[in-house]
Amino acid sequence: MSDTHDKNAPAELNIVSEYTDGGHEIDRPPAITLFGFLVAMGVIIVISAIFVFQLFASQSDDEQAKLGSEPIAKQVAQAERDAMFKTTYGIVTDAEGQQTGYRMPIDVAKKLVLEQPARFAPAPPPIGWVHPDDAVAPAPAPDQK
């Protein structure tokens, strides 16, 4: 058996190859895999957007069907409340239920205002209060020669 390869002889170094460039390893990016991932994500996003739009459209249609006759009923109820407020006496409350005033029929209020307009005059200002227009210094008189 003749051995052409000597175990003690230095091995030939292949410095430049497909995997090395001057002795440095090159890690080539997985371009096809990355491109496939981006395309798949784009498709998933588009399908999700279509799904969300369809869900919104179906919810909107359901709401419109449910509210079909409610606006008219709400308007009728509001008209009844308005008529009651225009013709009856009552207590006015805020959102927390605190009493903020009283209400009276509009015709009675008009009659009271026309009979005694001074009743609704503003209250006098507090003692010592000066109106901003009165606080401005008078303009200097023009010099006359």
Alpha-carbon distance 121 to 123, whole Å?
7
The number of CA neighbours under 13 Å toward the Cβ of 29 is 4
State which amino acid sits at residue 86: K
Cα Rg for the chain, rounded, in angstroms? Answer: 45
pLDDT tens, position by position, 77-113:
889 988 888 889 988 888 888 998 888 998 888 898 8
Same domain, 53 and 75: no
Residue 134: pLDDT over 90 = no
Same domain, 84 and 114: yes
Same domain, 57 and 77: no
Domain encompassing residue 100: 71-118
Same domain, 75 and 107: yes
Same domain, 56 and 82: no
Report if pTM > 0.75.
no
Same domain, 77 and 106: yes
Alpha-carbon distance 47 to 81, whole Å?
49
pLDDT of residue 18: 57
Helix (H) or strand (E) segment spanning residue 21: strand 20-21
Average pLDDT for the chain: 79
Same domain, 82 and 114: yes
